[in-house]
Amino acid sequence: MDARGEGPGPGGQAAPPPAFAAAVQQVRATALRPEIVVEEGPGPRSLAPFSLALSADVLDEAGDEVAEGRFVLLHDPAGQEGWDGTWRVVVLARCSPATEDADDPLLADVAWSWLVEALEDHGLPVRTLGGTVTTSTSRSYGQLSARPVDGELEVRASFSPSPSAVPEAVGDAVQAWAQLLGAAAGLPPLPHGVARLPRR
């Protein structure tokens, strides 16, 4: 399996605790909207003993990528400073905003509100939430001045689901990440449960 810590690894690494195995299964069973194409990959071993990572592309009706993102589930049975528990979720969403929005000074605040709203919509605590929103713009001059303003927006954050709510809260975290991706891509809201994560 791709989840770091699953099964004996190099050097005879121990199998993951049942709680992590259940959380991984919850992630894999979570339903997402069809525009979000997800792949599972190895998690970052340096951040926690057990981890799982997802990468996503958000496609428009023409099949073109309009946003991308990453989801990482971390589990350390001993806990870590700042986690307020033994679980941590890291999310990332990146897109190119519309030309009329790229220069908006409130863009970063709006993007952060997408994340907070997504967490609240799925009943996830925001008390442990921390992150950054990065915006950049590129303007053309001279013979290229007719080109529109080009921009990039990136939301990067982490938070801790309540240990007592795992594994269900991990599925909620995936749904919240998907909602953030949909907002970044400008997709209209859709009911949950319209597609399943592809299995690798």
More confident of the two residues 103 and 36 = 36
Mean model confidence pLDDT for the chain: 86
Cα–Cα distance between 93 and 181 in angstroms, integer?
Answer: 6
Is 90 exceeded by the pLDDT of residue 69?
A: yes
- Lookup: tokens for 87: 């679980």
Strand partners, 138: 150
Q: Which of 33, 32, 36 is nearest to 95 (CA)?
A: 36
Helical ranges in 55-158 per DSSP H: 99-102, 107-121
Q: What is the mean pLDDT of residues 50-76?
A: 95
Q: What is d(CA 51, CA 168) in angstroms, rounded to the nearest whole number?
A: 17
Task: Record the pTM.
Answer: 0.84
How far is C-alpha 36 from the geometric centre of its chain's CA atoms?
12
| H or E element, residue 57 | strand 50-59
Pick the most confident of 41-45, 71-75, 93-97, 151-155.
Answer: 71-75
Angle at which helix 107-121 crosses helix 168-185, to 10 degrees, equals 150
With contact defined as beta carbons under 8 Å apart, do 156 and 88 qualify? no
Predicted pLDDT at 164: 86
DSSP state of 178: H
Lowest-confidence pick of 6-15, 52-61, 94-103: 6-15
- What mean pLDDT is predicted for residues 71-91? 94
Q: Which tokens in the block code for residue 110?
A: 């709006």
Classify 148 as helix, strand or coil: coil
Q: Which of 1-5, 71-75, 129-133, 162-166 has the lowest mean pLDDT?
A: 1-5
Band of pLDDT at residue 190, cut at 50, 70 and 90: low
Task: Give 40's contacts (C-beta < 8 A, 6+ positions apart).
Answer: 2, 3, 28, 52, 53, 54, 197, 199, 200
Check pLDDT > 60 for residue 186.
Answer: yes
**What percent of the chain is modeled with pLDDT above 70?**
87
Residue where the block lists tokens 């969403």: 93
Beta bridge mates, 135: 153
pLDDT of residue 127: 80
The lowest-confidence range among 124-128, 151-155, 189-193 is 189-193
